[in-house]
């Protein structure tokens, strides 16, 4: 079995009770069957607490009024862990923030940016992320797995990541190239022209295609097109209201952002966007690197999942829109703060976005 991990994987450690926003609150934790069976067999002093804290019918941990896990004590430590040890944790708690995508004999493991510590690591990182592979014993065979499509997707993703990390090109153009490649690959797959995908991947690495994308982007961003820019941004933003809400206070963030950025029309939106770009250049010149890291994260995590549903373009669009929306959240927070923003706030907005969007199967189904 081949495992793939990002090079910062081993740097992660859980800050437990020091965590600024514990993962043991705010969402329903589903318990795997094996752990559930173990919990049902617990004897002794802890049995009563176990049955009060686990909903065996729903297969979840119960929560208090503030949606904190019933095992999370007032010191933000887990009573299950303290009383029965690490091995007692269910699969979700043992794994988090690790996220595993499974492809027959390959396991791609990432660290979810919904964890504040992971978000912090990515927001502080300057050098491009690399992916490491290692082998472990074991093999699996999947029915209905298409290894040829997977290899096309993995090749495409490798080239997309190369483009994305080429910092001699503006981030907007790099993302434009990725979207173009994903779009053209989707057309080929739809027409069952798998063998011509390689040609598409090559085309998006040429100077000619880069110039074409650059011109298209410049045209779209021209002042005359401010109305289109505004409608496009607002339309993407409004999609967030269609998603399942995991935390009540997320709604407040959305409404506040919408009010700040879009309530006063296209002219004001354009003005704020320009001012923010100027501020970013002078005060936070690394923001494009941070957005690049996020785009790498979303693309790496989800793109090859298209092997199961052939929705290649949707996977790339999810990555692009996520990065766009996170930047919109940054922009609105910057305005709200009186035109200031710091790294802690970037981190907070990143992990809160990820918690809402990535930690609901219903939401992922809608956007992927
Ligand atoms: S969110 Fe991350 S750092 Fe915080 S408690 Fe959970 S795993 Fe640990």
Q: Ligand 1, residues 18, 23, 24, 111: which to mutate, most atoms within 8 A of Cβ?
A: 23
* Per-residue confidence (pLDDT) for residue 46, from 0 to 100: 96
Q: Is residue 256 included in any domain, yes or no? A: yes
Q: Is residue 244 included in any domain, yes or no? A: yes
* Per-residue confidence (pLDDT) for residue 93, from 0 to 100: 96
CB-based contact 197:185 (threshold 8 Å): yes
Pull the structure tokens for residue 141.
């065979």
Query: Helix, strand or coil for residue 329?
Result: helix
Q: Which of 52, 80, 95 is the last residue of a domain?
A: 95
Residue 184 shares a structural domain with residue 44: no
* Per-residue confidence (pLDDT) for residue 141, from 0 to 100: 83
Residue 356 shares a structural domain with residue 216: yes
Interval 131-159: pLDDT, tens: 999 999 988 888 889 999 999 999 999 99
Q: Is residue 331 included in any domain, yes or no? A: yes
- Ligand 1 centre to CA of 27 (Å) is 13
* Per-residue confidence (pLDDT) for residue 272, from 0 to 100: 98
Residue 57 shares a structural domain with residue 174: no
* Per-residue confidence (pLDDT) for residue 229, from 0 to 100: 97
Q: Ligand 1, residues 17, 26, 92, 115: which to mutate, most atoms within 8 A of Cβ?
A: 115
CB-based contact 319:83 (threshold 8 Å): no
The dihedral sign for the CA sequence 322, 326, 331, 332: positive
Q: Which residues line ligand 1 (CB under 6 A)?
A: 14-16, 19, 22-23, 96-97, 115-117
Residue 37 shares a structural domain with residue 167: no
State how many domains the chain has: 2
- What distances in angstroms separate CA 29 from CA 48, 75, 96, 219, 260, one per listed residue? 20, 20, 11, 47, 34
Q: Is residue 123 included in any domain, yes or no? A: no
Residue 211 shares a structural domain with residue 301: yes
Among the listed residues 217, 241, 368, the one whose alpha carbon sits nearest the alpha carbon of residue 306? 368
- Ligand 1 centre to CA of 366 (Å) is 26
CB-based contact 356:363 (threshold 8 Å): yes
Write the residue with the smallest CA distance to atom 7 of ligand 1: 14
* Per-residue confidence (pLDDT) for residue 28, from 0 to 100: 86
- Domain that residue 319 falls in: 147-367
CA distance 333 to 223: 24
Q: Is residue 46 included in any domain, yes or no? A: yes
Q: Ligand 1, residues 96, 118, 119: which to mutate, most atoms within 8 A of Cβ?
A: 96
Give the strand pairing for 2-6 and 106-111.
Answer: parallel
CA distance 80 to 85: 7
- Ligand 1 centre to CA of 90 (Å) is 15
* Per-residue confidence (pLDDT) for residue 143, from 0 to 100: 82
Residue 273 shares a structural domain with residue 201: yes
* Per-residue confidence (pLDDT) for residue 363, from 0 to 100: 92
Q: Which residues contact 279 (CB under 8 A, 6 or more apart)?
A: 334, 339
**Whole-structure pTM value:** 0.95
Write the residue with the smallest CA distance to atom 6 of ligand 1: 23
Interval 276-316: pLDDT, tens: 999 999 999 999 999 999 999 999 999 999 999 999 999 99
Q: Is residue 10 included in any domain, yes or no? A: no
DSSP string over 181-210? HHHHHHHHHHTT-GGGHHHHHHHTTSHHHH
Q: Is residue 341 included in any domain, yes or no? A: yes
Residue 91 shares a structural domain with residue 188: no
Q: Which of 55, 77, 95 is the last residue of a domain?
A: 95
The stretches in the chain having pLDDT less than 50 are none
Residue 156 shares a structural domain with residue 86: no
DSSP 113: T
């Amino acid at each position: 079995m081949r495992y793939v991990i990002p090079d910062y994987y081993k740097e992660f450690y859980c800050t437990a009770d020091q965590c600024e926003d514990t993962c043991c609150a705010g969402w329903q934790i589903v318990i795997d069957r094996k752990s559930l069976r173990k919990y049902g067999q617990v004897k002794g002093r802890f049995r009563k607490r176990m049955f009060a804290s686990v909903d065996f019918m729903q297969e979840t941990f119960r929560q208090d009024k503030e949606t904190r896990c019933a095992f999370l004590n007032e010191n933000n430590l887990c009573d299950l862990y303290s009383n029965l040890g690490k091995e007692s944790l269910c699969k979700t708690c043992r794994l988090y923030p690790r996220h595993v995508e499974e492809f027959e004999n390959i396991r791609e493991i990432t660290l979810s940016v919904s964890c504040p510590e992971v978000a912090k690591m990515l927001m502080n990182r300057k050098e491009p992320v690399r992916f490491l592979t290692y082998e472990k014993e074991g093999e699996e065979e999947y029915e209905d797995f298409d290894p040829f499509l997977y290899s096309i997707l993995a090749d495409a993703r490798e080239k997309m990541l190369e483009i994305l990390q080429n910092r001699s090109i503006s981030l907007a153009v790099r993302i434009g190239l990725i979207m173009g490649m994903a779009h053209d690959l989707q057309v080929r797959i739809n027409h069952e022209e798998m063998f011509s995908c390689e040609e598409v991947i090559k085309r998006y690495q040429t100077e000619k295609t880069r110039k074409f994308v650059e011109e298209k982007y410049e045209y779209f961003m021209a002042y005359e097109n401010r109305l289109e820019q505004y409608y496009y941004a607002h339309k993407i933003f409004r999609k967030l209201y269609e998603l399942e809400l995991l935390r009540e206070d997320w709604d407040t963030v959305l409404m506040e952002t919408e009010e700040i950025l879009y309530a006063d029309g296209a002219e004001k939106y354009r003005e704020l966007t320009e001012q923010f770009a100027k501020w970013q250049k002078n005060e936070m010149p690394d923001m494009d690197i941070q957005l690049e890291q996020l785009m790498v994260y979303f693309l790496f995590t989800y793109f090859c999942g298209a092997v199961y549903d052939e929705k290649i373009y949707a996977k790339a669009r999810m990555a692009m829109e996520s990065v766009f929306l996170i930047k919109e959240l940054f922009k609105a927070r910057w305005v709200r703060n009186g035109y200031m923003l710091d790294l802690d706030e970037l981190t907070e907005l990143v992990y809160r976005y990820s918690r809402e969007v990535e930690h609901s199967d219903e939401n992922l189904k809608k956007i992927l």
